[in-house]
Structure 1
Amino acid sequence: MAFNETPVRHLISIAASAALVLGLASCSSAEQEQPEETQAASTSTESDNSPYREAKTENLARVVSEDFPQTPTVISDPGYSGIESSKMFFDSSETVVVAGAGISQELRAASIGVVAHSPVLHAPGINDAAVIAEIERLGASTVLLVGDALPGFDENSLEKVNTVIHDPGTEEALAELTSLQFEDKTVEDISDVTRMTAQLVPEEQTLLVPSWEKMPEKAGAEKVEAFPVQTKRDGDMAPVVIASPESGISAVATARAYGAEIRFMDYPDPRLNSETMEMVAGLADKPLLALGDQFGTGELLSAKIERGETITTELPGGGGLVFPGRRMVALYGHPSGPALGAMGEQPPAEAVARVKEMAAEYQQFEEQPVIPAFEVIATVASEFPGDDGNFSNEFAPEELTGYIDAITEAGGYAVIDLQPGRASFLEQAKLYEDLLKRPNVGLALDPEWKIGPDEQPMTRVGSAEASEIDEVAQWLAQLIDENKLPQKAFVLHQFQTQMLRDRESIKTDYPELAFVLHADGHGVAEEKIATWNTMREGLSPNYFMAWKNFYDEDFPTFSPQQTYEEVNPRPWFVSYQ
């Protein structure tokens, strides 16, 4: 049921106010016409034994206006303008709040807009025409400009606009604008701006103020006109709306101004943990709005929800995603001994104890769980062709299981590493299909010695094409889907650009896979950092970064504190060779 927010100062007579309120209440599409039928929660939840049964029942019981999309939909927000959010939630509005450049201006506009139930737009100076067009579409008669928004915009700019209010930016002006007493709430870190915007409550009249930036004030401004406060629009028929740190302030504020509840998740994938899965349980084919392109497409979001509901086995450290939610520290090597890396320097139990101690050292510098891991070499290039002529040694799966069993039973993670000569990645990956059916076993592809059909391994640094990576990714994603497995780490090793020449063409949007780019260069610190930075150039944001510390080839080997504090961004996966 809609309710009215009544300002102390009346701009018009009581009778006219009542007419205006009725007019404003009717201008939202959600309240023009109630749905003819209200569907109850699906009876299928009665036989649902998943951990999200109660959340599904609650989510499916929501009555959502038919004017909203009836399946998961991502609301794009180019330039963080809030325009698309305004179009989604408001058919029209008598008022609009427009913020200029700067977080302080956006947060002040958001705070006012939520209390006034007014759409909030962001005009930092690069999209003025688009913002003005949205004001015109809304048919607004009163526009509040916060900060340096829309210079030159006045009552003559659009036919229906008859009042343009310039906010002086002061505490006194805020009281004059709304006739309400706002309470300041400081935002200490920029990473919290969206979360705190999503938590704004109209009845509490909170003004969000960033600790690192002051609101520009306009000295000598005349007495400020009052800004009308509208009624809440949603009529308790808004869909579930989700946001993440990447969501725009104005887009989130507009949804809150409409009356929608914002469910905030720390990462734009509901499989992050059980709490975020409960936010969207049962909504894979039902109304759900996601604020920002970081959520992907509606179809991809739907697939992630379905996978999260299907997979109930959590990964080490909790949740259904490999990253984020945890970081990993791994010993790299082969069970045969120390020649191929540090893992094989000791038997499985001792190797587990060693890597657990290493993970504990890293944990001192990280809030997320740091999980012990092994990166186990399964195939390695050879100078000899072998019986199959592929210049690659493939170790039997049973040779690897001792170490894999040990680390996974200890609550850790294992990654099977492929280093073929002339063999294909796919044919080698299939050799370890049974191991990859385990929930806590991922796959790494290392093209360091992968060469052409007429080349000899170890004569040059090898390479792989995007098409070769894609065929493995597709096969592994299908294996995960068919066996209802949690997401897997899919690691690509690279320390030269030519190793993955067409990396940008690799398909990275499989919800079953966490793509990891392992920049495993060695040498002095400056060389390693230079390799790291080069490997990150042009890299898709869908990748998580991994780092390797070499005991014998780094000068010196980075300490845990150096690895986490001097390598930027902080690596999600760190291996030792």
Structure 2
Amino acid sequence: MALPHAELEQARMDNLTRHVAQNFLREPQVVGEPNDSGVAVSQLLFEKSDTVVISDREIHHQLRAASIAVVAHAPMLLMNDTDRDAVQAEIGRLGARYILAIGDVGLPKTTGNVKVIPDSGSLTALGKLTSLQFRTQRIDVSNALSAVSRLDGTHPMWLLTNRQEKVQSSPSDGEVSAFPVQSRRDAGAAPQVIATQESGIAAVATARSYGASVTVMRFPDPRLNVESMRAVAGLSDQPLIALGSQFGTSQQLSERIELGERAPLALPNKTGLVFALRTLRARYLNDSYVSKRADIPYGANYVRTIARPLSSQDQQDWKAWADAINAQDGFVFIEIDAVHRDADEILDSVEEIVSQPSIGVILRNAAQVCARSPQSRQRIADRLMHWNSEVINHNGDQLGVVLEGVDILRGGVCGISPQELMGLGLAILPARGEHLGGDATVNSQLYWDDWFVAERESFQPTGTLRSPRLGLIIRD
């Protein structure tokens, strides 16, 4: 399946030509929990290991442990009271003989045949442990996970936070003994690994110590920006490791990748990609202005998009105008006010227009649908669902139905929950901070003058939100 945008097609080809060892499943795997001990990733990647790096949860210790684990090609695990049994069981499964203890991990110096090596925390100790010369790099704590994902096993680097003191040497350096450095495990055949900020340092460091490349994504749903889709393009049925249950189930992740690839990601005007986080800038046109301005500017951050009210005017004239805008690679929205007495009849009559590519609908005052007669309410709800399930979706979800004015609702539109509406491909943009069913939150910024912008600042999707097009423009 070819993607409609050359950049993603190249990413897909790169991902599919990656050589991956046969022992990995030919499908995405979601491994572990957010900020866990790293045991789940270690179990997946390492059959055995003579060495293990153990850290407590103090951020300075985690960064030091990650810095050593990656160059030593050893799993990194986090030790605390809740994970102690699982960590000790993993040490036994790996058959480890050397444990490097960083911070307060509560391990005796010897446990059977296992030697526990204490770390003094100095730069000198790094040389004694690994016989390697480490450089140092200061990072902001907020960028810690990304920094760990970039650690390179061939270039020893000690990650320090901006406020952390760099200890050159310590009186305890004499107690530090050699910590064997092992060879890279993956032989260049590891799957692509994806993470988010919730994945945790131990999981990312363990993947890097194995030899896998790790992409830290802004959102666990890859459909929400182009960088994420680039990392997973082509991998809906190929080896892929996702660090943490924030990615959903393995099946959900696979479906999201497939849905993202099916969408027509390239805009007609070739200025960028269609994703839910994309900002669209639109000219709102009234009847007297509609024929005078089709030259809406566009660029890398916004798209030529025009919205026009539709009431009882000649629909053939409207269709001709929409065709002209489409010919200029623009997007068009029909605006229909639910308060209008003929709203259901208007919705019934415009299917031919809506079925065209790059044309969507804004239903203003959507809450007022519930105040209409039962027959009218049902006709409107049926029409919206029909458009999204049978008419609009066959155009690849380029546009959809935007419900404006639903922020005052608490139980959905006429008994239909916001999640169900989004599952149909409908778009809802509530007021700032409004919660959708307690799961997803959309924060919006609205600016109103001759131009208006609807911008999604943050979006946490759930498994029920299946459409990669979750709304384009909103009129307040």
TM-score, length of structure 1 as denominator length: 0.63
Determine if contact 2:444/2:457 at 8 Å carries over to the other structure. no
Alignment partner for residue 122 of structure 1, among 78, 90, 99? 78
Structure 1: how far apart are the matches of 2:381 and 2:40? 36
**For structure 1, which runs of at least 5 residues remain unmatched after alignment?**
1-43, 338-345, 361-367, 379-392, 458-463, 520-531, 552-556
Amino acid at match of 2:139: V
Structure 1: how far apart are the matches of 2:313 and 2:67? 62
Give the corresponding residue for 2:161.
210
Give the corresponding residue for 1:13.
none
Amino acid at match of 1:259: G
Alignment partner for residue 65 of structure 1, among 10, 18, 21? 21
Amino acid at match of 1:495: D
- 1:275/1:545 Cα in 2 relative to 1: closer, same or farther (>3 Å)? closer
Cα shift at 1:269: 4.9
Give the corresponding residue for 1:547.
445
Determine if contact 1:90/1:138 at 8 Å carries over to the other structure. yes
Cα shift at 1:302: 3.0
Structure 2: how far apart are the matches of 1:256 and 1:225? 24
Residue 518 of structure 1 aligns to a residue whose secondary structure is coil
Is residue 147 of structure 2 the alignment partner of residue 185 of structure 1? no
Say which structure, 1 or 2, has more relative contact order (CA 8 Å, 6+ apart): 2
Cα shift at 1:474: 8.3
Determine if contact 1:82/1:122 at 8 Å carries over to the other structure. yes
Residue 204 of structure 1 aligns to a residue whose secondary structure is coil
Cα shift at 1:228: 1.9
Amino acid at match of 1:451: C
Give the corresponding residue for 2:207.
255
- 1:50/1:347 Cα in 2 relative to 1: closer, same or farther (>3 Å)? closer
Determine if contact 1:374/1:404 at 8 Å carries over to the other structure. no
Structure 2: how far apart are the matches of 1:301 and 1:182? 38
Superposed CA offset, 1:517-567 (max 9, x none): 232xxxxxxxxxxxx24x2486534x543333456xxxxx9999xx99xx9
Give the corresponding residue for 2:465.
none
What are the equivalent positions in structure 2 for 1:517-528 lying under 5 Å apart?
517-519=429-431
Give the corresponding residue for 1:107.
63
What are the equivalent positions in structure 2 for 1:323-342 lying under 5 Å apart?
323-324=276-277, 326-332=278-284, 335-336=286-287
Superposed CA offset, 1:352-409 (max 9, x none): 64xx5xx89xxxxxxx71445444445xxxxxxxxxxxxxx67775565577557666
Cα shift at 1:70: 1.5
Number of residues of Structure 1 aligned to a counterpart in Structure 2: 459
Superposed CA offset, 1:328-370 (max 9, x none): 23455x6446xxxxxxxx33543764xx5xx89xxxxxxx714
Superposed CA offset, 1:264-303 (max 9, x none): 5555455567776554444332222233344433334333
Determine if contact 1:545/1:573 at 8 Å carries over to the other structure. no
What are the equivalent positions in structure 2 for 1:12-161 lying under 5 Å apart?
51=6, 59-123=15-79, 127-148=83-104, 150=105, 152-155=106-109
What are the equivalent positions in structure 2 for 1:79-478 lying under 5 Å apart?
79-123=35-79, 127-148=83-104, 150=105, 152-155=106-109, 162-188=114-140, 190=142, 192-211=143-162, 221=172, 223-270=175-222, 277=229, 279-311=231-263, 314-315=266-267, 318=271, 320-324=273-277, 326-332=278-284, 335-336=286-287, 346-350=289-293, 353=296, 356=297, 369-371=301-303, 373-378=305-310, 398=316, 400-401=318-319, 413-420=331-338, 432-445=350-363, 446-452=365-371, 472=384, 476=388
Determine if contact 1:176/1:225 at 8 Å carries over to the other structure. yes
What are the equivalent positions in structure 2 for 1:487-498 lying under 5 Å apart?
493-498=405-410
Residue 506 of structure 1 aligns to a residue whose secondary structure is helix
Residue 64 of structure 1 aligns to a residue whose secondary structure is coil
Residue 368 of structure 2 aligns to a residue whose secondary structure is coil
Cα shift at 1:260: 1.6
Structure 1: how far apart are the matches of 2:140 and 2:101? 25
Amino acid at match of 1:447: A
Cα shift at 1:75: 2.4
Give the corresponding residue for 2:467.
none
Cα shift at 1:203: 0.5
Give the corresponding residue for 1:389.
none
Structure 1: how far apart are the matches of 2:195 and 2:295? 39
Alignment partner for residue 419 of structure 2, among 488, 506, 512? 506
Structure 1: how far apart are the matches of 2:168 and 2:347? 63
Give aligned-pair identity as a percent.
30
